[in-house]
Homo-oligomer: A and B are copies of this chain.
Amino acid sequence: MSRTGEFQIIDRFFTHDAFGEWQSQGVGDDCAIIDTGAGRIAVTTDMMAVGTHFLPTARPEDIGWKALAVNLSDLAAAGASPRAFFLSIGLPERDDAWLEGFSRGLMALAAETGCALLGGDTTRTADVNGTRAPVTISITAMGALPAGKGLMRKGARPGDDIWVSGTVGDAYAALKHRWGHWQLMPDAAEALFARMDRPTPRLALGSALLDLATACSDISDGLRADLGHILERSGVGADLRWEAVPISPALRSLSVKAQQEAALSGGDDYELVFTAPESARLRIEQAGLLTDTRLTRIGKVTEGITGDNLTVRTESGAVVSTAVGGFDHFAG
C-alpha cells in the first residue's frame, strides 16, 4: 500500500545513495526485493491508523484482517510467497476486547496464507491534552522469491497488454455509501462492504505471474494512480478502454459517473494490475483459471509521452476524465 503524495516525503527525506551489503531491486515499489547473499526475499511495511485507514467504527476483527491483507497484497504484487510478519501496535490504553478481536482477524489470515507472526512490539501512546491518540498499527511482512525473480513496477513495454484481476471500485463505493454520499441497495451495500473490510490479497496469482508479467502493482491508490506508477517507472504510456474495466454487479447499480470515479480513482481494492506481452495471453488466462481469479484485459501499453500518459476512452472514443486519485494523507 503506497500513497501517492507520500512519495514526496520518502523521496525528499529518506532517499540516499546505496551503501551496505544488502541493496533493494525495488526502490519505490510495493516491496523491497533483496538479495541477502543466500537467497532473495521481498519485504514491505505499512503503517495504518484508526480514523485514517480505518473508520472509527470498524470492527477490530476486520482491522486485524485488513492490516495484514494490505501487506500481503504488496507481497502478491512482487510475486512473493508470504513467510513471516512483524507487528507493532500503539494503543492509548490496554483494551483486551479490542486486542482479542484484532488478533482473531489478523491470525485467521496469517494461518490461511502461511505467514507466521514472528515478532512484535506494543507501546502505549501518550495522551495529548487529555485526549487519547488513535490506535496505530505497523506491519512489516516478508516473503520468499526464487533467485533472480520478482515483479516490479518497471518493465512494461509498448505493445504489452494491460490486465487487472477481480473487479475495481468496490471498496471506494462502500466507503462512499458508509459516509452517506452515495446510496446503495442493501444487497449491493453488503457485497461492497465485504470487499472493503476483507480484501483478498492475490497471492496465488502473483506467484503465477512471476514468469509472465513484465510489470505489476497492487491497486491500493486506485487503478489510474497505480497503473500510473507502472507507466512512470517503465517510461511508457497506456490506452484503456472504459467498457473493458471489470465492474461488479453491485457497483453497476450506481450511475456510470459514479462507476468511473470508483473504478478509476478509488483505491483500497487490493487487486493486481499488470502488463504482459501478447504472446503470454494464453498462459495468463490459464493462470487465472488455476488460481480461480477473474482476469481482464483492459488496454494496451503505448510509447511514453511526457505529461498525462494514461488515456481512458469509451467505445465511442470519448475521453473519460476522473481525478488521478490516490489518497494523499498529507494533501491540502
Contact = CB atoms under 8 A, between A and B. Distances in A.
Contacts of A94: 9, 330
The A interface is mostly helix, strand or loop, or mixed, namely mixed
Contacts of A53: 123
Contacts of A125: 49, 51-52, 133-134, 136
A142 B117 CA distance: 15
A144 interface: yes
User: Taking the full assembly, how many copies of this chain does it contain?
Assistant: 2
B132 A128 contact: yes
B330 A124 contact: yes
Contact of A45 (B9, B12, B39, B87): B87
A90 interface: yes
A96 B9 CA distance: 9
Contacts of A47: 88-90, 121-123, 136, 138
Contacts of A31: 119
A163 to B, nearest CB: 26
A16 interface: yes
A36 to B, nearest CB: 6
Contacts of A100: 13
Nearest to A128: B131
* Interface core residue of A53, A115, A117 (most chain B CB under 10 Å): A117
A182 interface: no
A249 interface: no
A256 interface: no
A234 interface: no
Interface of A: 1-3, 6, 9-10, 12-14, 16, 18-24, 27, 31-32, 34, 36-39, 41, 43-53, 83-84, 86-91, 93-94, 96, 99-100, 102-103, 107, 110-111, 114-126, 128-129, 131-134, 136, 138, 140, 142, 144, 329-330
